[in-house]
Each structure stands twice: as C-alpha cells, then as structure tokens.
Structure 1
C-alpha cells in the first residue's frame, strides 16, 4: 500500500467529496476515482458510501482512516528528521504526557535545549498513560511521561525529580470541603469521577483497600479540565492529582489530599533499543544533565 494512496484516501475522507479532494491534491478527478477504486479492490471491502452530495466512510473506511493517519504521520516524522542540514543539531522531538507537575521539569529541559539548539522543534501530545504507550509502540512518540510503575521489559526510563500528590477535587460547598484531608471512608458513598488510566485504577484500589470500580463511580475522565467542569455542576468528586486546576481566588472548587498520603513517582520512558534522531538524543542528554543539577 503506497503512502501516496493513503494521502489520497485521507484527503477524500476530509473533503467528503472526490471533486474537492482532487482539487486539493491537484490531480484529476478520474485519476483519483480510479486510485480509490483500486484501493477498495486491493483491500476487498468498500471504504466509502457514495451519496449525492457527499461521501462518507464505511466502518472499514473509518478503521483505515485512523491507521492511515498514523502511518502518514510516522512517515512525515521520519522524513523531517532526515531532511535537515547536517552542520548543526536540528530535527523534531515528540513527547507525550498526561496532566502532571512533571511537565514543568520537561519544559525547563526543552528551554535549555532550544536555547542551545534553536533549530530543534518539539511536539507535545496530551493523553493518559494508556494513550501514551500506544503511541510509543507505534513510533509516533519518542518519549512518554507516565506514572510509575514502568514495564521494564518494554521500556527504558529515567525517574524524574517530581512527585504527584493524589487527592479529591470538590466544590467548596460540598459535605467534605471542611476536612483538611480525605480518608477512604469519606468517599465510600459519594459519587466519584475517576481517571480511565489502568495504572491509576491499581494505585487507587490499593489505597481504598478494595477495587475502585466497586465504588459509586458516576463517570470517568481522560483530562482533568473537563472533569473539573463536571465538579462545578455538582456531578461528583474527582479523584485526581494536585496543582492542575486553579482552586484559588474566585474559584468555587477546592482540593483535599488523601489521608494516608498517596503520591506517584513519574518516569520519562522510551522503547527499548530505540534509535533516536539527533534532536531526541540531545533532549535525553539535557534531561540527564538537568536531573544531575537538581540532585546536586
């Protein structure tokens, strides 16, 4: 399957018409139609539902669109790191991470790096640990920032000098807002909104002393900003980490730490036997250097 044909397919899916995609791609409409028909024949399944006004994707077409975008993105990422002048360090770095205080440390490392090598570009992807690992496996990310534990069979890693503190985000007028900290018994009968991360489930289950999914789960979240909007509407209490939502000033939200205290170490991980671009190698060097200075 040629990359060129995948680009054609993505263009048609985005434009929702053969004529619009042909104009966007600067090729003739008959040529594009033939290429797409050949693709459907090769895959042995229809990819499009051809309507009078627009084209939509079949279930198989939607699956191919997801994979095609990943493949094209990986090709573009690879080419970008080769098509750079050799006389100075340049290239692109792809970093994924969730919402965590550790990103401040990553930001400082990137600032140091781009000051010394201004031709380097960085790309950030936000998602939970499961998303990050999937993109690391497919080669779309160079590094991921995740909560411990790390699968040492699959990844190399460095522990970052940062810890996340777990607690509960709630309204300031909630029943638990007067407490300095929150114990497991306080939450047993409360509507909870929890992270979808597998690792988080394990950590919280250990803290509660029972499977967290057996509690009164109202909903789940991927990123905390949207979850905080649910709290504002009094839909439940969010189990999350500290310092990610503004609870000062006129905010009607507050954060209470768990008791006993629950913290999480954070690692920067990458695939074992990973062959880095020059930019990614320099970033890793900068991370190691900043950690050494932090520990001195």
Structure 2
C-alpha cells in the first residue's frame, strides 16, 4: 500500500467526485481511477459506490479513510520531529486540549519557549477526553490537557496549579438566573445539557459523582455535548441549561447568557499528560522541561 495512493484516496473523498479530484491532483481521470482500483485490489474491498456524479464510501472505505488520515498524520508528525539542525532547534509540538481556561497557563509556557526557540511550532487539537487519549495512544499527540474525572493510569502527568469550577449556563430570562448559586434541588425537573465525558466516565469515585451522589439518575438530561460551543447554541435556543465549566463563555458576546456556580462548590482538577516511556523530540523535551519548571515539579 503506497502513501501516494492513500493521499489520492483522501483527496478523492474530500472532493466527492473523481473528476474534481483528478483536476485537483493534475491527473487524468482514467489515471486516478486506475490508482483507486489498484488500492481497492490491495485492500481487497470496494471503497466507493458511484452514484450519478458523486461517490459514496462503503463501510470499508469509511474505515480506510480513518486509518489513512492517521497514517498521513503520523508521517507528517515524524517529518516535523526531525525538522532541526545542530545549530537551530525547530520542530512541531502536538497538543490536545479539553476546553478549559487553564489552557492560558499552557499558552504562557508556549510563548516563553517560543521566545528562546522561535522555530518551534505548536499544533493544537481541541477535543474531549476520548478524542485526546485516542490520539495520544496512537502517537498523534505529544501532550494532552485533561480535565477530571479522567483515568490517568496509562500516562505520566503534571497536575496543573489550577482548577475548573462547575456551574450552569442559562438564558438570562430564566427564573434561575436570579440565583447566586445552583443547588442539587435546582437541577431537578429542568432540561439539562451535560458533557458527554461526564456521562461516559467509568470512574465512580470522583468529585463529580460524589457531589451528585444519588441525584444524578433523577436528572432530566435532554442532550449531551463534547465541546461547549454547540451546547451554548442549544441554551440560546431555549433547549435547556448546560452544566459546564466556568470561564468558557464570553459574556461580552453572549449578553443573553449567564453562568451560575454550583453550591456546594464543585471543582475539577487539570492535568498535562503524555504516554509513559515516550520518546520525545528535542522540541517536545524542551517544552516538557519548561512545563515542569513553570509548575515547579
């Protein structure tokens, strides 16, 4: 299986049409079709169904797309890691991050490192726990910023000197918007939009589950989210109240939305993680040393 063939395949998927993909690649349509046919023979499965002028991926094609993207990402990451000379330290650092104001602390370290090593470049991937750990485990990320509750048993990590505060985002015309705090009783019988990470976590003994105790099963959960932006849209449209972390909405641009913290106070810790026994590039090692120095580990 050739890397070039995988790239041709991904571009064809992106364009959704053999003719458009051939034009983009500066190939003839028969040449590109031949390359795709060779890939199908190599894989042993049909990758496309041709419908009118467009293509539709088969189940095998969907799987190959996912694997091809991972392979190409890994190749690009490997090239970036060797982008240095004896005189100039350069290279790319790949960081996955959950949505948290603590990313500003990481960004301050990134800025400090870049002052001394201006040829180091950062690549940030936003996602939830499952998204980030999957890419960490496959070697597509160097570091991840994970929000508790999170299983850290597979990783080395630094605990961040910060915590996120949980609360409820709601429209300002809600009767609850006049409250200074939100209690467990307030959460009953209102439509809730909740983080999918919290819903799917297998860690029973954590601050979040202890705060809710036996209340969680009584909640009226109408939707889940993995990134807060879409949850904000649902709140704006009156679908419900989003249980989320503080400092993730900009009230200057969300005049009709407000955040009210839970009572008793519920906080989540934050961790910078990386794979155990990981072989770091020179750029990533410099960044890790800067993190440890910043957070005094």
1:128 touches 1:222 (CA, 8 Å); kept in 2? yes
Of 242, 245, 260, which residue of structure 1 is paired with 2:246? 242
Q: Is the 8 A contact 1:101 1:162 kept in 2?
A: no
Contact preservation (8 Å) 2:182, 2:260: yes
| Residue in 1 that maps onto 2:282 | 278
**Relative to 1, partners in 2 of residues 1:49 and 1:249: Cα closer, same or farther, differing over 3 Å?**
closer
Q: Give the match for residue 110 of structure 2.
A: 110
Residue 201 of structure 1: CA displacement? 8.6
- Distance apart, 1:54 and its partner CA: 2.5
Kept after mapping to 1: 8 A contact 2:149/2:203: no
The residue number in structure 2 matching 1:259 is 263
Report how far residue 58 of structure 1 moved: 1.6
> CA shift at 1:156, angstroms?
0.3
Structure 2: distance between partners of 1:23 and 1:177: 55
Kept in 1: contact 2:150–2:203 (CA 8 A): no
The alpha-carbon deviation at position 248 of structure 1 amounts to: 5.6
Alignment of 1:89-238 (within 5 A): 89-197=89-197, 198-199=200-201, 203-210=207-214, 212=216, 214-238=218-242
**RMSD over equivalenced CA pairs, Å:** 2.1
Q: What is the Cα deviation at residue 246 of structure 1?
A: 2.3
Give deviations 1:169-195, integer Å, cap 9, x for gaps: 112221212221111111111110000
Where does residue 31 of structure 1 map in the other structure? 31
Please give the alpha-carbon distance, in whole angstroms, between the structure 1 residues aligned to 2:58 and 2:64.
Answer: 10
Count of aligned pairs between the two proteins: 293
Shift of residue 84 of structure 1? 3.0
Aligned with 1:251: secondary structure?
Answer: coil
User: In the alignment, what sits opposite 1:72?
Assistant: 72
Q: Take 1:217 and 1:27, find their aligned partners in 2: how far apart are those partners?
A: 51
Distance 2:182 2:152 in 1: 33
SS in 1 for 2:123: strand
**How far 1:83 sits from its partner (Å)?**
3.6
What are the Cα deviations for residues 213-251 of structure 1, in whole angstroms up to 9, with x where unaligned?
A: 552011111211221121122211110011111236871
Write the distance in 2 (CA, Å) between the matches of 1:128 and 1:150: 10
Stretch of structure 1 that moved more, 227-236 or 266-275: 227-236
1:38 Cα offset (Å): 2.0
- The CA distance in 2 between the partners of 1:156 and 1:260, in whole Å, is 31
- Structure 1 residue 94, shift from structure 2 partner: 0.6
Write the distance in 1 (CA, Å) between the matches of 2:80 and 2:147.
Answer: 30
Corresponding residue SS for 1:176:
helix
User: Does the aligned pair in 2 maintain the 1:147–1:199 contact within 8 Å?
Assistant: no
